[in-house]
Amino acid sequence: MDKIVSAAKAIAAARRNHAALKALGADIVPQDEAEGYQVQRALHDLLQPQVGSLVGYKIGCTSAVMQDYIKIPHPCAGGVFEKVVHESGAKLAAGDYVHVGVECEIAVRLKRDLAPGEAPFTAEWVAEAVEAYHPAIEIVDDRYVKWETLGAPTLIADDFFAAGCVLGKAVPRMSVPDLREVVGRAIINGKEASRGTGADVLGHPHNALAWLANHLAAEGRGLHAGQIVLTGSLVKTIWLKAGDEVVMELEGLGKVSATFA
């Protein structure tokens, strides 16, 4: 357990100092993804005084474009914290990140718990637990000297690039279109940079939500009413420069915007 805590402390120090994380020492680097998630949980305890309570999760690598980009062929989860959830129109400082990027996402807000004892979960089951959807900008941070060489266990330990989100207005579950057919457009400084569809997220965003619920249940943990889940990017990550204006338009869900000054 000392190894887990030592790894979490090293990552937390880099996060607090906005310093690029190098490879962790051979004596503390997580050896597999299960150990990576153990470090992640310890990291969450260390970060909460700074970023507030855990209010949900992000799921990474849920689309072919992102799996190909990150070179990890399956979903990975990270935490979302109270103080880094912003409303549409947020003006954020690019200097608060090592190298900030954005992703176009469909976020869900839960109306009821998904307890570990209810597993295994299906997409149909978790759909019934959703209260509303939000068009979302996931904020990611490349806070690494070279992420390509770190490996999935270390990226998981550090919340898999998660750095917060910007949420548009909630759309009640009964009012949303077929999420598979929702087209998401990433618009940077007024120009479309990329687009994707809800079907790109594991076939349907509810499949990603079911994956997360089952992943947490395997660790004896659940999802809770009121929590937010970012289900995964419809587009490849877009890395920003200071001054960039970001709009994500999701057909039938609305739009969400932020400026990184």
Cα–Cα distance measured from residue 197 to residue 61, given in angstroms and rounded to the nearest whole number: 15
52 and 164 Cβ atoms separated by less than 8 Å:
no
Topology, domain 53-260 = Fumarylacetoacetate hydrolase; domain 2 (3.90.850)
3-class DSSP assignment, residue 113 = coil
What global pTM score does this model have? 0.97
Mean pLDDT for the chain overall: 97
pLDDT at 223: 98
Q: How confident is the model at residue 178 (pLDDT cuts 50, 70, 90)?
A: very high
Compute the distance between CA of residue 102 and CA of residue 30 in angstroms, rounded to an integer: 27
Q: Are 259 and 92 in contact (CB under 8 A)?
A: yes
pLDDT score, position 26: 94
232 φ/ψ sector (left φ>0, alpha ψ -120 to 50, else beta)? left
- pLDDT attached to residue 149: 86
Q: What is the mean pLDDT of residues 187-209?
A: 98
* 163 pLDDT higher than 90: yes
Answer whether residue 1 shows pLDDT above 80: no
Angle formed by the axes of helices 2-16 and 33-51, nearest 10°? 50
Strands (E), the chain: 54-60, 76-81, 85-87, 90-92, 100-110, 130-141, 162-167, 171-172, 183-188, 191-197, 228-233, 238-239, 244-250, 254-260
Let me know: does 122 contact 204? Beta carbons within 8 Å.
no
Q: State pLDDT tens for residues 75-116.
A: 999 999 999 999 999 999 999 999 999 999 999 999 999 999
Q: What is the pLDDT of residues 35-79, one digit of tens each?
A: 999 999 999 999 999 999 999 999 999 999 999 999 999 999 999
Strands annotated E in 207-243: 228-233, 238-239
All structural domains of the chain with their residue ranges: 53-260
